[in-house]
């Protein structure tokens, strides 16, 4: 590799590192129950995840045929969601196969690791600790860590900065259009996984690499960080 700056891999959380859908959908269903709406099946609601809790609630209501809530109603539902989810962060959530081994390889090779997620920071820290991998990451940055959140590229670039990395030797790993759009706008190459939460097949979004298992991540990350430098940033809107 071309300079002495340590490379950094920045991971999304939901749908990338861990299958959090069962617990997120359970929290959504708790909110829907309070609105006298039937629960959604996890498999039917997986693709509603990915843009944060408020968006998940709005999408869940839309699927249930309920008109869009006003700001006061949405805030009430959001608070209820956070209370339920915070009490059930790890009831059924599991790391995707190969995550622990992949993270260990990166750490052993001297990479910096970070998390950039639209999950709130306290929930992210707690969940990653419960899953046993929080200590792998130099920075864990959530939706409320900075004044910006994905797809705003500053969420990613500030995460890289906080972790002590450089955008010139960074790679983003995510599962959705939000992650790919964020990375593109930041000028950072992106590896996508197809087993997360995306209403558009990630292969159609043209990530730099698409991997089907975490045992493929090391090779993909080394290749693109070693060859992609100073990528032009796209316009964020």
Which residues carry out catalysis?
12
Task: Check residue 195 and report its DSSP letter.
Answer: T
Determine whether 227 is exposed, middle or buried from the number of CB atoms within 10 Å of its CB (0-12, 13-18, 19+). exposed
Q: At which residue do the structure tokens 């639209």 appear? A: 118
Backbone φ and ψ of 37, nearest 5°: -115, 150
Nearest to 197 by CA among 18, 28, 58, 40: 18
Q: Are 34 and 80 in contact (CB under 8 A)?
A: yes
Order the strands of the 139-141 sheet from edge to edge.
Answer: 139-141, 112-116, 8-11, 170-174, 190-192, 209-210
Determine whether 144 is exposed, middle or buried from the number of CB atoms within 10 Å of its CB (0-12, 13-18, 19+). middle
Neighbours of 67 (CB within 10 A): 8
Cis before 151 (ω within 30) = yes
**What is the secondary structure of 23-70 as a DSSP string?**
HHHHHHHHHHHHTT-PPPPHHHHGGG-SS-HHHHHHHHHHHTTPPPP-
């Amino acid at each position: 590799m071309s300079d002495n700056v340590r490379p950094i891999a920045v991971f999304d959380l939901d749908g990338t590192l861990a299958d959090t859908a069962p617990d997120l959908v359970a929290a959504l269903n708790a909110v829907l129950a309070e609105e006298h709406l039937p629960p959604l099946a996890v498999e039917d609601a997986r693709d509603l995840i990915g843009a944060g809790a408020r968006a998940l609630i709005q999408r869940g209501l839309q699927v249930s045929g309920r008109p869009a809530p006003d700001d006061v109603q949405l805030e009430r539902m959001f608070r209820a969601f956070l209370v339920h989810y915070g009490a059930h962060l790890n009831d059924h959530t599991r790391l995707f196969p190969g995550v622990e081994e992949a993270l260990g390889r990166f750490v052993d090779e001297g990479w910096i690791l970070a998390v950039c997620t639209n999950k709130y920071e306290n929930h992210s820290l707690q969940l990653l600790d419960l899953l046993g991998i929080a200590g792998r990451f130099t920075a864990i940055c959530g939706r409320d860590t900075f004044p910006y959140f994905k797809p705003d590229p500053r969420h990613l670039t500030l995460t890289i900065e906080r972790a002590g990395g450089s955008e010139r030797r960074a790679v983003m790993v995510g599962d959705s259009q939000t992650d790919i759009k964020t990375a593109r706008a930041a000028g950072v190459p992106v590896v996508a996984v197809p087993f997360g939460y995306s209403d558009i097949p990630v292969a159609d979004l043209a990530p730099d690499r698409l991997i089907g298992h975490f045992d493929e991540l090391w090779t993909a990350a080394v290749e693109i960080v070693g060859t992609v430098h100073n990528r032009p940033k796209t316009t964020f809107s």
